Structure 1
Amino acid sequence: MEKEILEQGLNHNRRKFLSRLSLGIGSVALGSLLIPDLFTGKQEAEDGLMRALPHFAPKAKRIIYLFQNGAPSQLETFDYKPLLTKNFGQELPESIRMGQRLTGMTAGQSSFPLVGSYFGFNQYGESRAWISSLFPHISSVVDDLLIVKSMHTEAINHDPALTFFQTGAQVGNRPSMGSWLSYGLGSENANLPAFCVLLSRGKGNGQGVYSKLWSNGFLDATHQGVQFSNSEDPVLYLKDPDGMSRDQRRKMIDQIAALNEMNYQEFNDPQITAKVQQYEMAYRMQTAVPEITDTSKEPDSVIKLYGPDCLVPGTYAANCLLARKLSENGVRFVQLYHQGWDAHDNLPNQMIGQAKDVDQATAGLITDLKQRGLLDETLIIWGGEFGRTNYCQGKIQPENYGRDHHPRAFSIFMAGGGVKSGMVYGETDDFGYNITENPVHVHDFQATVMHLMGIDHEKLTYKHLGRRYRLTDVHGKVVKDLIA
């Protein structure tokens, strides 16, 4: 008997043994993707290393990023510079510009006349922060805000600047911030993706928004942002086809999963398991998404907070309300893009329309989260890809002027999620051109956001093409002065 067993064992050579072993490991791996709780614990292997996330106790659990695409002017929002109004039409001193580069749109100008804001500014709240008269609702929640007036970036044109903010690089094919957080922390709700994207279009000049901004890059496809639309179907291709029941859909997905498991066992391609997981997520979203996107049950008090536009699908206000509902239901990262801030001319009129779009809904979102006890664990971010020049682009008139791109100094604000409230951080010179105090680079901003989510930005890495990548590349430091 022992001899027969030995002979059978010898017939199983090393190649067969390893082949069958890999099939078993592949099945286990696929099972862990289909059933995330199959194995308990928050550690997963990556190139032989174990990374435990979060790295430390997080200040925030979720992020709602209200990206103002096209670059709103800091000089008409949060950076009050009365000297520009006083010196209207005078030349920008060379000692201020110091030969810094310009875009092709103003590099050929023979003069650079200073122009102040058409709109008045006032101080609000206990922080006495200066805010433009364009934003009466945001002014009312100023003591919940952390205004950063000293942001800066290298990118001087829209696409690379926008891509830089979202992915940490000015070129494409890098994972977005939401994808990194999905990869590191996953979702709090098995029936919803960890990363959702909402788009709205304002009344001003727009800049393009492309899917590369919410791409998973070289991470698994499961970490790509899921775009919601303003159509009858918020997520395309989610409904069952005509004539197919839910039970039939379940059987179809099971059969596809079985076929994909066979392919995975043969080719060991992780994209196969990612595709299976996407099918499973889509099936679970069929129940969760219609309920979340239904605003008919929202009380009048909530509609009043966000404004009547929140009942119009696809508007900024509607997306702010949807962002709250998604975040409230465990979506880790909600990215909202609002287009229309690219005011190279006719800036006052464009700013009026844009501010009307975003003012009440932004303040309403902050107030709504605060009333629900969710603001402390939800980080709100509001801002664009760079700022605007203090000099006029083209013909200058007090009530009709434009501003070019300005990456040297601009403003954003944050609220909730572990940041200090009622505070203004950083300062620019009297011309609003250069930073004079506490500069914050885009990578510093990204490192700080990751820190608030309990992540050491230097440790959350992914090996791709022989190199370890991270959101902040090889840069960035946490700005601890911003953290409560």
Structure 2
Amino acid sequence: MHPLDANRLHLTRRSLFGKTALGIGGAALGTLLTREGLAVQAPDGAAPALPHFAPKAKRVIYLLQNGAPSHVDLFDHKPMLKKMHGTQIPDSVVAGKRFSTMTGGQTARPLLGEITHFSRHGQSGATVSDFLPHTGAMADELCFIKSMHTTQVNHAPAITFFMTGSEQAGRPAIGSWLSYGLGSDAEDLPAFVVMTSRDKEASCGQIFYDFYWGSGFLPSKYQGVKFRGSGDPVLYLSNPEGMSQAVKRTILDGIAGLNEMKLKDFGDPEIATRMAQYEMASKMQSSVPELTDFSDEPQHILDMYGPDVKRQGSYAYNCLMARRLAERGVRFVQLMHAGWDQHRNLNTQLKIQCTDTDAPSAALVKDLKQRGLLEDTLVIWGGEFGRTPFLQGKIEDTKQWGRDHHPYVFTAWMAGGGVKPGMTYGESDEFGFSVAKDGVHVHDLQATLMHLLGIDHERFTYRFQGRQFRLTDVHGSVVRQILA
């Protein structure tokens, strides 16, 4: 068959009209923009119109605590819980509220006093549990938001909501939006990196779904690159036996040439993605081994992150990796640590989780600050919701105390990147059940994150299936009171 005839078999009527229209329209638009002096060369992979204004942050490290930490045991001290311990929470407080199936039909809802002790820390006087001594010691660096609230009562949709702006899977993750909009400052590492870890006991971990860092309807080059917790962080970092660098370069150049031909024929963005990913994979063969070599880290830095820092796949290891990724220009680092889902083992598992995560989280903030990186790095710590102030189960069964999922109010903290340090924003009611003042919705947090990166969340959209989509959907307001 003649090559021209073979090519026609791949050319549908729709693609013919589509490519023709794009070609003519693109040429006309390019001419107009150039004539008016509006054409701008975008940075690597970035949208040309961004940022909308001067950013205060260049990058984000998101420490997502899967399973939902108990705000009333860790940050939001409520003396009323101890005073009314074991008594029924007033019906007027819970009326009409939805809970998970584990307590949705539970008629007895006795209040459970905090199982930890609280202390005030720093000049800000922030209340932090004694289970988190390292976090408490750096309270004056943090902005606590004690009025977070969401709409979901189950883990997967709630995490998906935080990471993508939608409760249903399929939308781009925050890191994908930022990679698409702002490009990358790293030449030999992905713009969006994901790492996961679990508690030592592995007793109540959540599933890590790929769509938590997926690119959705954006080209797949913007999806997160997951670093593995064992073995090579990324597969196939080493060349096969007998494959020299020169031979590999020749093969890659040949594949790139073939892909360029197909890209010209079909204009499929996934072909461009494939080409870019081949090149990035080649660069990572050199950059990732250096990235994961901690031999250049001073011993006092390793000690600050804790005894697990050299155990690949641990939360401490991932926190140090996050700092090393940030200083190399990675735009968005997403750490996800499972184990906070304490329905029946709060009085044993909560301490384990805090021990795993407290020192590394604090070390990350302190390490960024001493290197001059905290000023333009936004760090966020929080779960997908909180835990109920009432007990799941029976008050007499002291060995199996636990709390159910609670979306109506919970606590998160932020540091660096243009956020006011040493402050607490928002309040919950006397039971830690509902927002009492200055509520912050999931979309508000996302809008604020975007704003700190120089993006107007209402203007940053992507057209898909006939509609302009954005991370915050049609909601969200910037929480300006917490901006430095």
**Residue 131 (str. 1) matches residue 128 (str. 2):** yes
Gaps of 5+ in 2: 1-15, 31-38
Q: Using the TM superposition, give the Cα deviation of residue 399 of structure 1 relative to its aligned residue in structure 2, in angstroms.
A: 6.2
Partner residue in 1 for 2:410: 410
Aligned with 1:188 (options 185, 188, 202): 185
Partner residue in 2 for 1:198: 195
3-state SS in 2 of match to 1:67: strand
Q: Using the TM superposition, give the Cα deviation of residue 129 of structure 1 relative to its aligned residue in structure 2, in angstroms.
A: 0.7
Q: CA deviation digits over 1:63-101, x for unaligned, max 9? A: 110000000110111100111011111001011112211
Asked if structure 2 preserves the Cα contact closer than 8 Å seen for 1:118 and 1:399, the reply is: no
Partner residue in 2 for 1:252: 251
Gaps of 5+ in 1: 1-14, 30-38
Q: Using the TM superposition, give the Cα deviation of residue 242 of structure 1 relative to its aligned residue in structure 2, in angstroms.
A: 1.9
Identical-pair percentage? 53
Superposed, 1:195-344 pairs within 5 Å as: 195-202=192-199, 203=201, 204-344=203-343
Partner residue in 2 for 1:392: 391
- What one-letter code is carried by the residue in structure 2 that aligns with 1:463? R
**Residue 110 (str. 1) matches residue 107 (str. 2):** yes
- What one-letter code is carried by the residue in structure 1 that aligns with 2:95? M
- What one-letter code is carried by the residue in structure 2 that aligns with 1:69? N
Q: Using the TM superposition, give the Cα deviation of residue 412 of structure 1 relative to its aligned residue in structure 2, in angstroms.
A: 0.3
- What one-letter code is carried by the residue in structure 1 that aligns with 2:92? S
Asked if structure 2 preserves the Cα contact closer than 8 Å seen for 1:22 and 1:265, the reply is: no
Partner residue in 2 for 1:54: 51
Partner residue in 2 for 1:482: 482
Asked if structure 1 preserves the Cα contact closer than 8 Å seen for 2:158 and 2:385, the reply is: yes
Q: Using the TM superposition, give the Cα deviation of residue 51 of structure 1 relative to its aligned residue in structure 2, in angstroms.
A: 5.0
* Separation in structure 1 between the aligned mates of residue 465 and residue 178 of structure 2, nearest angstrom: 21
Superposed, 1:86-97 pairs within 5 Å as: 86-97=83-94
Partner residue in 1 for 2:461: 461
Asked if structure 2 preserves the Cα contact closer than 8 Å seen for 1:394 and 1:401, the reply is: yes
Asked if structure 1 preserves the Cα contact closer than 8 Å seen for 2:194 and 2:227, the reply is: yes
* Separation in structure 2 between the aligned mates of residue 138 and residue 208 of structure 1, nearest angstrom: 26
Asked if structure 1 preserves the Cα contact closer than 8 Å seen for 2:194 and 2:334, the reply is: yes
Aligned with 2:161 (options 147, 159, 164): 164
**Structure 1 residues 445 and 232: alpha-carbon distance in aligned structure 2, compared to 1, 3 A threshold:** same
Partner residue in 2 for 1:10: none
Shift >6 Å, 4+ stretches: 43-46
Q: CA deviation digits over 1:96-146, x for unaligned, max 9? A: 112211211112212100001111001000010110010001111000000
- What one-letter code is carried by the residue in structure 2 that aligns with 1:58? P
Q: CA deviation digits over 1:206-226, x for unaligned, max 9? A: 111111000011111110100
* Separation in structure 2 between the aligned mates of residue 134 and residue 248 of structure 1, nearest angstrom: 55
Q: Using the TM superposition, give the Cα deviation of residue 395 of structure 1 relative to its aligned residue in structure 2, in angstroms.
A: 2.1
* Separation in structure 2 between the aligned mates of residue 214 and residue 107 of structure 1, nearest angstrom: 31
**Residue 79 (str. 1) matches residue 76 (str. 2):** yes
Superposed, 1:350-361 pairs within 5 Å as: 350-361=349-360
* Separation in structure 1 between the aligned mates of residue 231 and residue 109 of structure 2, nearest angstrom: 49
Asked if structure 2 preserves the Cα contact closer than 8 Å seen for 1:44 and 1:51, the reply is: no
Q: Using the TM superposition, give the Cα deviation of residue 396 of structure 1 relative to its aligned residue in structure 2, in angstroms.
A: 1.9
- What one-letter code is carried by the residue in structure 1 that aligns with 2:367? D
> Which deviates the most, 201-210 or 473-482?
201-210
Asked if structure 2 preserves the Cα contact closer than 8 Å seen for 1:90 and 1:113, the reply is: yes
* Separation in structure 1 between the aligned mates of residue 170 and residue 238 of structure 2, nearest angstrom: 30
3-state SS in 1 of match to 2:179: helix
Q: Using the TM superposition, give the Cα deviation of residue 409 of structure 1 relative to its aligned residue in structure 2, in angstroms.
A: 0.2
Q: CA deviation digits over 1:311-364, x for unaligned, max 9? A: 111100000000000011000000000000000011021100000000111111
Partner residue in 2 for 1:145: 142
3-state SS in 2 of match to 1:227: strand
* Separation in structure 1 between the aligned mates of residue 421 and residue 347 of structure 2, nearest angstrom: 29
* Separation in structure 2 between the aligned mates of residue 40 and residue 93 of structure 1, nearest angstrom: 60
**Structure 1 residues 335 and 348: alpha-carbon distance in aligned structure 2, compared to 1, 3 A threshold:** same
Asked if structure 1 preserves the Cα contact closer than 8 Å seen for 2:43 and 2:183, the reply is: no
Asked if structure 1 preserves the Cα contact closer than 8 Å seen for 2:74 and 2:116, the reply is: no
- What one-letter code is carried by the residue in structure 2 that aligns with 1:457? H
Q: Using the TM superposition, give the Cα deviation of residue 22 of structure 1 relative to its aligned residue in structure 2, in angstroms.
A: 5.4
Q: CA deviation digits over 1:412-456, x for unaligned, max 9? A: 000011001000100011111011100000000000000001111
Task: Give the TM-score of the pair, scaled to structure 2.
Answer: 0.90
Q: Using the TM superposition, give the Cα deviation of residue 383 of structure 1 relative to its aligned residue in structure 2, in angstroms.
A: 0.4
Partner residue in 1 for 2:451: 451
Asked if structure 1 preserves the Cα contact closer than 8 Å seen for 2:195 and 2:227, the reply is: yes
**Structure 1 residues 428 and 340: alpha-carbon distance in aligned structure 2, compared to 1, 3 A threshold:** same
Partner residue in 2 for 1:7: none
Q: CA deviation digits over 1:241-287, x for unaligned, max 9? A: 22111111111111111111111122121111111011111111111
